[in-house]
Amino acid sequence: MIKTEKDLELKVKECSKNLSDKYSGKNGKISVLVCSGTGCLATGAKDLLETLQEEIKNHGLEGKVEASKVGCFGFCSQGPFVKIVPQNIVYRAVKVEDIKEIIEKTIVGGEILERLLYVDPVTKEKVSKLEDMAFYKKQVKVALYGCGVVNPEDINEALGNGAYQGLVKALKMDPQEVINEVLASGLRGRGGGGFPTGRKWQFAHDQVNDEKYVICNGDEGDPGAFMDEGILEGNPLGVIEGMTIAGYAIGAKQGYFYVRAEYPTAVARLKNAIAQAKEMGFLGKNILNTGFDFNIGIRLGAGAFVCGEETALLNSIEGKRGMPRPRPPFPAVKGLWQHPSIINNVETLACVPYILREGASKFNSLGTEKSKGTKVFALGGKVNNVGLVEVPMGITLRELIYDIGGGIPNGKKFKAIQTGGPSGGCLTEKDLDTPIDYDNLVAKGSMMGSGGAIVMDEDNCMVDVAKFYMDFICDESCGKCSPCRIGTKRMLEILNKITDGNGTMEDLDELEELAQVVKANSVCGLGQTSANPIVSTMKQFREEYIAHIVDKKCPAHVCKNLMEYKIVADKCKGCTLCARNCPVKAISGTVKMPHVIDQSKCIKCGLCLANCKFDAIIKE
Amino acid sequence: MAKLSASAVKQIKEIINRYRDERTPLMMILSDIQKEYGYIPLDVQELVSEETGIPVAEIYGVVTFYSFFSLNPKGKYVIGVCLGTACYVKGGQQIIDKFSELLGIKPGETTEDGLFTLSALRCIGACSIAPAVNINGKVYPKMTVDKVIKVVEEYRKLGGAN
């Protein structure tokens, strides 16, 4: 239990030494760090760690070699990652079968296993250090602080890496001074809205009320986004510290995390971190002997996207259906249980300790004029390097996709990048040199959103993408207000009509009109932004809509009713593989003679194309 | 109430008692019941109502609002196919269609033998291994239509055996 600042100083000194000794090898040990983010866990990181621990025993290396977890490295498509220090060697895509060799050759023998090294897709060179990989060169870790460095389940490592220095500083300041620092930093809400965080705090601070709440919105529902998941898994204490600072600033004694139940690892890390913080005295009564009391609870979502909307989230914590409340009153005035509350996104709170620790001026030296600091993106879809990246605001989309993301796989052509999820829009080739910030993305017809960045190539149909998002929103609409409930349904019906090949040009006008009505009249952000993917794709890819409607063709060959599988007679060797695999017996022909697909029977499952070894089957 | 067994009543009351000190604990109670009892039928809702004083109508409203809560028992193997954007652009729809075809059920349904429930998941944050499938907590990375066939066969072989 740390009761005074003096206690803390001693503790931090000890923890810093342990951590730096671990990395320098001064502790006389070799440490093997296994990435424990969801991406790597899904590809076997848990088994890797267990096997490592077993093999260390089998080789009699206990006390000399140690294996431990480390927060997400971010480079998920190359996982699972294993890092060996002090040698500073990083292996990628490690399998359980590789462990024995890693121990015998690398750890005991000092030899680098070339086949486990990352190969730069451009230079074709093998790279053994993270810092030499292009993926990391433009990244700056603020919200993801400590990810890939410390064990997210061990508060001692975090303390050795600067955790709680922000709170210590904050507690020496007056609450108003803390708010001023956050205001000066220029931090804006990372959940998508971009509202200045300091101003939100000021509203809640100015309310006279004995009972106030800080709520962390971890209901990251955007499909294809996993920034908050990565932060909660890799830097849980950072978010807890940020929440504690927020509590001190606005005068709250209680905070709640609202996390989606789809993130079991994040919830477990958070629970563990809260328990450790409590035990050390960073949560509870009279924190660091300053008289400040603060506690944190966790509430889980139950699979409703709309609960990411702040007032719906409040209703959900209150045990009600997650439907939004009319505003005003704003949550800062009447929030949880009708008391003043602030609701901040995970990433927003994760930036707060940095601002206090390093100072507002250091934070706002990063970024653009109106968007300060960094932004975490979940880079996914048709891009070589899928993963979690944190970059200074103002970096261009081209740098994000090509320098960090390594470009588009399989030599395909870039088509669009979707940002902002179901509330956002698509940006194309002509927007690639736009510096990323809140205002620029809105000006280009998309939005920052929470950080999902899905890259699409020539094989993606943009009408289908718009339909995907509308289907999502229609399903997730809570049903409270009719513009959203009925409007999204009608828009989805029209999109289905178009992709089925029954669309008319009037449908496009009707979509535009409906989009306006739903935007202007829905109660909450979910409805108000629901038509954005349609509006944006109609603007950028109108010719694709027209091809579906007028030519009855899907140019990307995605919409089943508007495409056919065909066998190119010249290429077909008559191997019969396709015919044997066809689930509906739509393919006929004699052995060693070109086969034919009966279009009236074909269900367009694509199995023939997947099985053909001669590239004789094409989509048209 | 007659339908619930004594052990079920005991189990549910024990869950409710965990949250006696919490303000507005309904979501926490229902989450635990869903996880531990497997589903939240009407007679369980009535018991929760009796114990907490929250009207059944309100509880029913909450149970049917959230997709994680289910009025019916789920299959032994719950197959969740991720249809988040990253999985969708990499063919998640074909994956769920194939499961649907092989199992003869639509997403959200359970097979008659009680073996499989098929569900469409929103992003599970495993975008780097898209398209991803989650079966009872185990994640299957980079799924293909062929792998779906194998996975279904595998679980059918396991069958009802424990």
Compare CB distances from A302 to B25, B66, B98 and report the shortest one's residue: B66
Q: What is the mean pLDDT of residues A484-489?
A: 97
B86 and B129 fall within a common domain: yes
Please indicate whether, in this complex, the C-beta atoms of A454 and B89 are within 8 angstroms of each other.
yes
In angstroms, what separates the C-alpha of B61 from chain A's closest C-alpha? Answer: 7
Mean pLDDT to the nearest integer, A8-17: 96
Best mutation site among B26, B56, B65, B140 for testing chain A: the one with the most A CBs within 10 Å? B65
Query: What does pLDDT average to over chain A?
Result: 95
pLDDT recorded at residue A188: 97
Residue B12 sits in which domain range? Answer: 6-65
Q: Which residue of A has its CA nearest to B124?
A: A262
Q: In what order do the strands lie in the sheet with A65-70?
A: A65-70, A30-35, A82-85, A89-91
Do B106 and B37 fall into the same domain?
A: no
User: Contacts of residue B88 in chain A, CB cutoff 8 Å?
Assistant: 223-224, 468
Q: Which of B18, B39, B65 is the last residue of a domain?
A: B65
- Which pLDDT band, with edges at 50, 70 and 90, does B20 fall under? very high
Q: Which of A101-115, A177-191, A402-416, A574-588 has the lowest mean pLDDT?
A: A574-588
> Is B71 within the bounds of a domain?
no
Looking at the fold, whether B81 and B26 belong to one and the same domain comes out as no
CA distance B136 to B154: 14
Q: Please count the CA atoms within 13 angstroms of the CA of A110 that sit on its side-chain side.
A: 0
Asked whether the beta carbons of residue B85 and residue A221 sit closer than 8 angstroms, the reply is: no
Q: What is the crossing angle of helices A532-540 and A505-521, to 10°? A: 140
pLDDT tens figures, A350-377: 999 999 999 999 999 999 999 999 999 9
pLDDT for the residue numbered A438? 94
CB contact under 8 A, A38 and B26: no
Query: Which pLDDT value is given to residue A376?
Result: 96
Q: What count of CB pairs under 8 Å joins A to B? A: 142
- Residues B122, A223: C-beta atoms closer than 8 Å: yes
- Between the alpha carbon of residue A594 and those of residues A393, A491, A500, A521, A579, the distances in Å are 56, 43, 30, 58, 11
What are the two backbone dihedrals, phi and then psi, of residue A453, each rounded to the nearest 5 degrees? -135, 100
Computed over its alpha carbons, how large is the radius of gyration of chain B? Answer: 18
B82 shares a domain with B151:
yes
The answer, yes or no, to whether residue B161 has pLDDT greater than 60, is no
Query: Contact B86/A465, CB-based, under 8 Å?
Result: no
Mean pLDDT of A131-141: 94
Contact A223 B58 (CB under 8 A): no
Listed residue (A492, A542, A547, A481) closest to A514, CA to CA: A492
Q: Which amino acid is at A157?
A: E
Give the count of domains, chain B.
2
Banded pLDDT at B1 (limits 50, 70, 90): very low
Whole-number pLDDT of residue A459: 93
Beta carbons of B125 and A386 less than 8 Å apart: no
CB contact under 8 A, A304 and B132: no
B86 contacts A380? CB cut-off 8 A:
yes
Query: Distance, in angstroms, between B4 CA and closest chain A CA?
Result: 24
Min Cα separation B10/chain A (Å): 23
Please say whether the beta carbons of A357 and A165 come within 8 A: yes
Q: Which residues of A touch B54 (CB under 8 A)?
A: 319
What does the pLDDT read at residue A394? 96
Q: What is the pLDDT of residue A296?
A: 98
Distance CA(B151)–CA(B143), nearest Å, equals: 10
Q: Which of B90, B94, B123 sits opposite A606 (nearest CB)?
A: B94
* pLDDT band (50, 70, 90) for residue A393: very high
Q: Is the pLDDT of residue B32 over 50?
A: yes
Which domains, from first to last, does chain A contain?
A: 22-132 (3.40.30.10), 163-361 (3.40.50.11540), 374-457 (3.10.20.600), 462-551 (1.20.1440.230), 564-619 (3.30.70.20)
Is the model's pLDDT at B162 over the cut of 60?
A: no
Tell me which chain A residues have a C-beta less than 8 angstroms from the C-beta of B92.
Answer: none
- For residue B70, tell me if it sits in a domain: no
Chain B residues in contact with A226 by the CB 8 A cut-off are: 123, 125-127
Q: Assess whether B59 and B107 both reside in one domain.
A: no
Q: What is the pLDDT of residue A584?
A: 85
**Chain B residues within an 8 Å CB radius of A478:** 65
Report the candidate in A471, A483, A449, A301 with the shortest Cα–Cα distance to residue A376: A449
Asked if the structure places residue B1 within a domain, the reply is no
Contacts of B99 in chain A (CB under 8 A): none
Residues B95 and B142 in one domain: yes
**Which residue from A317, A452, A465 is facing B24, i.e. has the nearest CB?**
A317
List CB contacts of B119: < 8 A, sequence separation 6 or more. B78, B79, B80, B81, B107, B108
Q: Which among B89, B123, B128 has CB closest to A460?
A: B89
Is B147 part of a structural domain of the chain?
Answer: yes
B111 lies in some domain:
yes
Residues of chain A found within 8 Å of residue B146, distances taken between Cβ atoms: 610
CA–CA gap between residue A93 and residue A103 (Å, rounded): 16
pLDDT-based confidence at residue A611 (cuts at 50, 70, 90): confident
B54 and B81, same structural domain?
Answer: no
Strand partners, B78: B117
Reported as a single tens digit per residue, the pLDDT across A332-343 is 999 999 999 999
Q: How far apart are the two ends of chain A, measured CA to CA in Å?
A: 69
In a domain, B129, yes or no: yes
B93 and B147, same structural domain?
A: yes
Mean pLDDT value of segment A435-440:
94
Smallest CA–CA distance from A385 into chain B, residue: B128
Q: Measured between beta carbons, which residues in chain A are less than 8 angstroms from residue B127?
A: 39, 76, 224, 226, 378, 380-381, 386
Closest-CA distance of chain B to residue A386, Å: 5
Per-residue model confidence (pLDDT) at position B127: 79
**Confidence category of residue A4, pLDDT binned at 50, 70, 90:** confident
Mutate to test the interface with A, among B34, B127, B149 (most CBs of A within 10 A): B127
The pLDDT value recorded for residue A193 is: 83
pLDDT tens column, B45-55: 999 999 999 99
**Cα–Cα distance for residue pair A307/A260, rounded to 1 Å:** 9
Of residues B114 and A273, which shows the higher confidence score? Answer: A273
What's the token pair of residue A567?
């066998």
Co-location of B84 and B41 in the same domain? no
Q: Is residue B72 part of a domain?
A: no
- Tell me if A38 and B126 make a contact (CB, 8 A cut-off): yes
Q: Between A38, A79, A301, which is nearest B125 by CB? A: A38
* Residue B35: closest CA among A516, A570, A264: A264
Chain A residues inside the 8 Å CB shell of B36: none
pLDDT score for B88: 85
Are B61 and B109 found together in one domain?
Answer: no
In this structure, the answer to whether residues B87 and B113 fall within a common structural domain is yes
CA neighbor of A378 nearest in space, from B93, B143, B95, B85: B85
> 3-class SS at A86?
coil
Give the chain B residue whose CA is nearest to the CA of A380: B86
In a domain, B126, yes or no: yes
Shared-domain flag, residues B37 and B104? no
For the domain that residue B83 is a member of, what is the CATH number?
A: 3.40.30.10
From CA B66, how far away is CA A39, in angstroms rounded? 26
> How confident is the model over A310-315, as a mean pLDDT?
96
Contact assignment for A302 to B31 by CB distance below 8 Å? yes
Write down the pTM of the prediction.
0.93
